[in-house]
Chain A
Amino acid sequence: MGTTRLPQPFADLEVFVADWSLATQREREQKRAASTAEELKLVYRILLPRLDPMLEYLNQYSLDKLPADAQRLFYLTLSFAEIAPFVECYKGEPRVLNSFEETRFIAVHADRLA
């Protein structure tokens, strides 16, 4: 456990890395859809006040030259982008209410790495 996988100012978010530091939109979408409302609300509540400092920290790098620890942090912000609307609009429900079947929506771009 000697190495931190996130930049030092965000080391306390380490607990989210395994589940939410995901490299593709497909993985983030699938993780969100498989989560409970309580899980989504917890991630949202903890990350929301950290997002500004996270993005300011990340913005010192260009998008294609992120060090490994910053890359993991960046993936966490993208997972936040995936789950935030579900907490803000649908009370944490992991799916869009009154919607088309999401599994039939093919995201052509979804395997692209961020």
Chain B
Amino acid sequence: MATAIFDVNKRWSEEYPELGTDPVPTEPCISAEYFELERERVFRKVWLYVGRQEEIPNPGDYMVRDLKACRTSVIFVRGQDGEIRGFHNICSHRGNKLAWDEAGSCQNFSCKFHGWVYDTAGQLVGVPDEEFFHNFDKADNGLVPVATELWQGFLFANVDPRRSQSLDDYLGAWGKRMSGFPYGELTARYAYKTELKCNWKVALDAFSEGYHVNVIHGQSYPDTFTGKNNPMCHLPEVRFYGPHRSCIVYGNPNHKPSPAAAIAYRFGESVTKRSGSQDQLPAEVNPTRSAEFGFDLDVIFPNLLLHILPGMWFTHQFWPLAVDRTLWEGRAYWPPAKTPGERFAQEFNNTVLRNAWLEDTATMEATQEALSSGVKTHFYLQDQEILIRHSYKVLEDYVGFYTQNGNA
């Protein structure tokens, strides 16, 4: 395996001078006006990740996502023809919510108010007492579609009926960079969620740099993502792809596993094992195949974090519920275990990962409360926190709170 040494002392502000070096306002995290603009100009406009295609593998399988950030609930259902479609979860008759379970499998959706029935392609196929409606045609009263497209098995939705961009165009060069990883083969899922009393960006920002690793994860992941060559977890690569961003998080090739971690290494995959083959990685990710590669950390604008590394991948997603409330979902994906030993290794690694996520989420609610006081009006970001700088810049380009709405 190549052992090219990363340059971990690069100044990213020199590479990306357009992002500036000034402190960043905290107002977007506490302003109700900013939040409403995010809803209208971002979440109701762009492609949003809603789930993996494997979650609804068979015709009739469906899942419901309450997209409060878009002011709607959406049914994603695999039709009899195998295609996945999205529909607003609203009965065409009087607006009742149609599907109430988070997921399921069905032949038809039947409204529990007056019994209107829709098939899995969204067509209205049954109306009790139909002849008493006036000038009525079932063909005009199907479910209202929501656009869906797949990238590498990731299902995205766009609630804007006037959207002008395909998902491929939206993901652009980032989509090409990250294609080819065996996402669809690593399907054993460990999933957590919670509602955080903080703005969605407070949660997103906490996962968007390596500066916190030594402190917050000092006990759960000692010397794993830091080492002699990189004591502060500097990012050896940062790239921007329009609104999306990528970076490499360092992995210490000399990391000493704990006794239990060493057992897990012998029997299965691991978040921290550095000896695994990097053949699974797309060519553009860690192109030198440096042994100091920990994982690729990517943010798909606006609210999805994707991490890939040899043997597993994981995501975080942040769904705005209110200016100070966020649904967080963390999901880790492993190869389906064939042996008890592989399953043990997953269980151990998942425990450590869960513990690290409990550490990551520890600061968020207190941070929100402190920001709400208005005492501190700006974040002071260091050079290595440039992903956060990019995040606020891109968001403001969409939102226009300071430019279009005159809040300068």
- In the complex, what residue of chain A is closest to B360 when comparing beta carbons? A100
Chain A's interface size range is 35 or more
Question: Is A82 in contact with chain B by the CB < 8 A criterion?
Answer: yes
Query: How many of chain B's residues have a CB under 8 angstroms from any CB in A?
Result: 40
Q: Is the interface of A mostly helix, strand, loop or mixed?
A: helix
CB contact list, A96-114 vs B, under 8 A: 96-100, 102, 104-109, 114
Q: What are 8 A-to-B residue pairs whose CB atoms are below 8 Å?
A: A52-B263, A59-B341, A62-B338, A81-B260, A82-B351, A84-B260, A88-B259, A106-B193
Which of B260, B266, B342 is in CB contact (< 8 Å) with A80?
A: B260
- Name the one of A48, A58, A59, A105 contacting B259, with C-beta atoms under 8 angstroms: A48
* B191→A63 contact, CB < 8 A: no
CB pair B351–A59 under 8 Å, yes or no, is: no
| Nearest neighbor of B217 in chain A, beta-carbon distance | A89
| Total A-B pairs, Cβ < 8 A | 115
Shortest CB–CB separation between residue B210 and chain A, in angstroms?
18
Using A88-B259, A90-B219, A106-B194 as known contacts, say yes or no to A59 and B347 having CB atoms under 8 A apart: no
Q: Which of A65-96 contact B (CB under 8 A)?
A: 66, 74, 77-78, 80-82, 84-85, 88-90, 96
A89 and B355 form a contact (CB under 8 A): yes
Taking CB atoms, residues of chain A closer than 8 Å to B192 are 105-108
Q: With contacts A77-B340, A99-B359, A100-B194 known, is A25 near B260, CB below 8 A?
A: no
State whether the Cβ of B392 lies closer than 8 Å to any Cβ in chain A. no
Chain B interface SS verdict (over half): helix
Q: Which residues of B contact A89 (CB under 8 A)?
A: 219-220, 222, 258, 352, 355
Give CA–CA (A56, B351) in the complex, Å.
21
A61 at the B interface (CB under 8 A): yes
In the assembled complex, the CB of B209 is this many whole angstroms from the nearest CB of chain A, namely: 18
Interface string of B331-369 (1 = CB under 8 A from A): 000000111111110011001101101111110100000
1/0 per residue, CB under 8 A from A, across B241-282: the answer is 000000000000000001111011011000000000000000
B344 close to A77 (CB less than 8 A) = yes
B362 x A109 contact (CB < 8 A): no
Among A25, A58, A66, A102, the residue within 8 A (CB) of B341 is A58
| Selected contact of A109 from candidates B190, B216, B260, CB within 8 Å | B190
Please, which residues of chain B bring their CB within 8 A of the CB of A74?
340, 343-344
